[in-house]
Structure 1
């Protein structure tokens, strides 16, 4: 390690120094303040604070680029006078020296709640990101959303096998979430239903899809009968796989003749200015209420 590298690593981020100066360096204190500020910025952002792992990565600078736009909005409102880019720069002084904003008399700027200047005019207000393929979604995002959920988790898919396969700890995390009071609904395909065989043909997986569903059910089986977890099956034609975590959602689009991991993913955050999140939730709830049945009843159908 060079002297320059050691010096750089020893310097804290501006964000860490500012939070420490306001006694917000602990995760619990930060989340309380985040919610308080988010309520004023946009009520739908309340409860959207980062997971504990995310928070400490912010403080250590162990991130690529900036946090998601909504996080930046809240941070800028929490720390007036600072831009998100400046908060994630290295601090020139010591940890005890709390800096002032670079410009104490800034020119009037665009309100924090506005859309990014480069956002398309027709981009839905509740769309955070679009990934061309599910395989492009950062693995950590799946886990951050799962671990960060405080109230509700809904998993609606045919198999959702990738989640426990890529993240072996996911099943235990879901168990722990249920024990902590998070309401969880899991809705997977019934391998005995004709719609699953048809989907296998349409995706060119053929009998492989039914096999993947059976394998997924083996992974998820330990969640059956757990208090706080409602586990059902469905036999519907699945238009989208929907993964909802509180006020955020990942939607896996499905394309005829295309494997699920190649199809696009929408990352949504519920917003009073948009209705895309609610549209997908209505779809999920409709299947849950009218087409789903308890996994224990599947054999008798």
Structure 2
């Protein structure tokens, strides 16, 4: 169904389809599709509504509600523009609340090693029956060296950081319910699981992990994003080898 409200708003504001295309960094054909009824991306809707001085819900009735419903069904609790934007207390709250499973998939995860009480907290959770699994990168793998080059820090820098991470977690060696492994996979996402909550940090070429987006996911009754990334974690886990840090 054609979006007559959008067309009328363009005419009232004397904004041409070409100008709208320039504003949204799209082509005129895309604007024509919006006028024909296609709904733009949320950020694009915001730009258009602001330029036309109209309410977004007026131009696209129900679009925000539909997006929220999709987000809820997929298990997305919150999206962050960078991992650095994740509130520090959220990491602590999720870790404290986890009783059955903590799973960490990274190459290094250096920011975790900066928590002075992390090892003690993991030991206590393991002592209470929780399963702790940590996946660090294989320092000698091609994937690790290539990632280091892609970040512009030289082929050996991430390998050296992995050495530090291995040394940090070494004291967990022999602790029941704790296992550390090294993997050689291309790390598409860092995954931090805390029972039925998870923070996923998708990686972006040429950017360090703190500068890439992060998603707080929660397990839902239906198969959602949480399950997708949990399955990915398991696949990497089964391909990894026991680390000298402990098993």
TM, length-normalised to structure 2:
0.69
CA pair 148-297 structure 1, distance change in 2 beyond 3 A: closer
C-alpha displacement at 1:168, in angstroms?
1.3
Select the structure that is richer in helix.
Answer: 2
Match of 1:120 among 60, 63, 68: 68
> Partners of 1:269 and 1:145 in 2: how far apart?
11
Determine the C-alpha separation between the residues in 1 that align with 2:232 and 2:116: 29
Matched, 1:252 2:201: yes
| Matches of 1:284 and 1:274, distance apart in 2 | 16
Moved more, 154-163 or 212-221: 212-221
Unpaired stretches in structure 1, ≥5 consecutive residues = 1-115
Q: 2:126 aligns with which of 161, 178, 197?
A: 178
2:141 equivalent to 1:188? no
Secondary structure of the equivalent of 1:123?
helix
- Deviations 1:52-75 (CA, angstroms, capped at 9, x unpaired): xxxxxxxxxxxxxxxxxxxxxxxx
Higher relative CO (Cα under 8 Å, sequence separation at least 6) belongs to 2
Counterpart CA distance in 1 for 2:194 and 2:83 is: 17
TM-score relative to the length of structure 1? 0.57
Q: How far off its partner does 1:297 sit? A: 10
Does residue 169 of structure 2 align to residue 225 of structure 1? no
- The residue that corresponds to 2:8 in the other structure is none
Question: Any stretches of 5+ residues in structure 2 without a counterpart?
Answer: 1-63
**DSSP 3-state at the match of 1:201:** helix
Find the aligned partners of 1:297 and 1:216 in 2 and give their Cα distance.
9
CA contact (8 A) 2:108 2:136 kept: yes
Secondary structure of the equivalent of 2:71?
coil
Contact 1:204 1:259 in 2 (8 A): no
The structural deviation recorded for 1:208 is 2.1
Question: Matched residues in 1 for 2:228 and 2:147: separation?
Answer: 23
